[in-house]
Amino acid sequence: MSWAPFWLSLQIAVMATLIAGVVGVALATLLVSRRFPGRDLLGALVTAPMVVPPTVLGYYLLVALGTRSWIGRTWEAIFGSPIVFTRTGAVIAASVGALPLVVQGARAALDAVDPTLMATARTLGATRTRAYFTVWLPLARGGVAAALMLGFARSLGDFGLTYMVAGDLPGETQTASIAIYNAVNADRYDDALGMVLVLTAIGLFALYGVAKLVRRERAT
């Protein structure tokens, strides 16, 4: 069995982790630092991908980003290719899957930082932004890194959502999970074994790393 789907998964997961990392940490910061109407609703929406079936989520993404949606049409007009059933679609699908894990982890990590530290930074002349990047975020870094690791592992192994939004195009959207599914479907269990073991190892390593990071943060 070719390892191309695995390398493709890796590329997609790195991109998705970057996107989910930036968006997720920003959302977590908003949810922790501000009280506003609809905060709980936003929290629920962001967490929804954890509990809503991938097919349902995929349906929404197809409707929102498909060639008949204004987002899809605008994207195609600018970049010359659609979002859905392309690598871009696979990255978006993996990002959406990773987002709740990043937001949940980053939210808990940011929430655990003593607010008087931020207040002190402000009285020492730091703007809200500087205090955030020099005090708040560095003190939450262990928890945020753990959240990113979980997000990476989640996006690396995504199946349902990617299949719905990006399909199964070899070399373009056929990720490791989909290749394993195809191999098993064709009764080629031996072919799938290598990638199964590597994905299992990465998942376990991510969880082990998260436990280490969280323990280290608690100790400081």
Partner 1 sequence: MKAARTLSVRARVERRGTRKVPGFTVAIDLEVAPGLTALVGPSGAGKSTVLGVIAGLLRPPDSRVTLGSEVWLDSDSGVFVPPERRGVGLVFQSLALFPHLTAAENVAYGMNGERATRRARAVVMLERFHVAHAADRAPATLSGGEAQRVALARAIARDPRVLLLDEPFAALDEDLARGLGDDVRGLIAELGIPALIVTHRREEAARLCDRTITMAGGRLAEPRPAKLVAI
Rule CB under 8 A: say whether 123 interacts with partner 1.
Answer: yes
Rule CB under 8 A: say whether 116 interacts with partner 1.
Answer: yes
Interface segment toward partner 1; rule CB under 8 A; list 54-62, 104-112, 117-125, 173-181: 117-125
Interface segment toward partner 1; rule CB under 8 A; list 39-47, 65-73, 120-128, 172-180: 120-128
Interface segment toward partner 1; rule CB under 8 A; list 14-22, 73-81, 114-122, 168-176: 114-122
Phi, psi (deg, nearest 5) at residue 186: -95, 15
Rule CB under 8 A: say whether 184 interacts with partner 1.
Answer: no
Residue identified by tokens 């109407």 is 37
Helix (H) or strand (E) holding 40: helix 39-47
Interface segment toward partner 1; rule CB under 8 A; list 78-86, 91-99, 134-142, 174-182: 134-142
Distance CA 60, CA 66 (A): 10
Task: Provide the CA 176 distance to its chain's centre, in angstroms.
Answer: 17
Comparing CA positions, the residue from 137, 52, 34 lying closest to residue 99 is 52
Comparing CA positions, the residue from 28, 44, 48 lying closest to residue 108 is 28
Least Å from the CB of residue 166 to partner 1:
40
Rule CB under 8 A: say whether 185 interacts with partner 1.
Answer: no
Positions in 137-156 near partner 1 (CB under 8 A) = 138-139
Torsion of CA 164, 166, 172, 173, to 10 degrees: -40
Q: Which residues bind partner 1 (CB under 8 A)?
A: 114, 116-117, 119-128, 134-135, 138-139, 220
